[in-house]
C-alpha cells in the first residue's frame, strides 16, 4: 500500500512538473515580438458589373457596364461593395484587394 501511494504521488509530481514547461512555450522560439505594421501607401479596389437593359420595339437588349470602387480602407471598400452587390442585376467581378502604389 505504501508503494502504491508513493507511486501515485510520484506520477502526480511528474505530471504537475511537465504541464507548466509545455504550456509556457508558444511557437517555435525563432520569432520575436511582432511590431506595428509598416505603412504601405495604396488604395483598396473592387469592380462590379451591372446589366443595362435597353428596350427596343423588337425586344430587349442587355448591355453591361462596370463600376470601379476605390477606397482608403478595406472596411469602406467592403461596405461599398456590399451595397452595390445587393442591387438587382449586379455581379461582383473582383472583390476588395489592396493596390499598393
Q: What is the domain partition of the chain in residue ranges?
A: 42-100
Q: pTM for this one?
A: 0.56
Q: 85 or 16: which carries more pLDDT confidence?
A: 85
Alpha helices in 25-90 (DSSP H): 74-85
- pLDDT tens digit sequence for 54-100: 888 888 888 999 999 999 999 999 999 999 989 888 999 999 999 99
Alpha helices in the chain (DSSP H): 2-24, 74-85
Q: ∠ at Cα 91 (73, 85), nearest 5°?
A: 50
* C-beta separation of 69 from 81 below 8 A: yes
Amino acid at each position: 500500500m505504501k508503494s502504491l501511494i508513493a507511486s501515485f504521488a510520484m506520477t502526480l509530481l511528474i505530471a504537475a512538473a511537465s504541464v507548466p514547461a509545455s504550456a509556457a512555450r508558444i511557437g517555435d522560439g525563432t520569432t520575436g515580438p511582432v511590431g506595428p505594421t509598416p505603412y504601405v501607401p495604396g488604395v483598396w479596389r473592387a469592380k462590379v458589373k451591372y446589366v443595362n437593359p435597353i428596350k427596343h420595339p423588337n425586344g430587349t437588349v442587355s448591355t453591361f457596364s462596370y463600376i470601379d470602387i476605390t477606397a482608403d480602407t478595406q472596411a469602406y471598400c467592403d461596405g461599398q461593395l456590399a451595397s452595390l452587390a445587393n442591387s438587382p442585376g449586379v455581379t461582383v467581378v473582383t472583390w476588395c484587394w489592396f493596390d499598393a502604389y
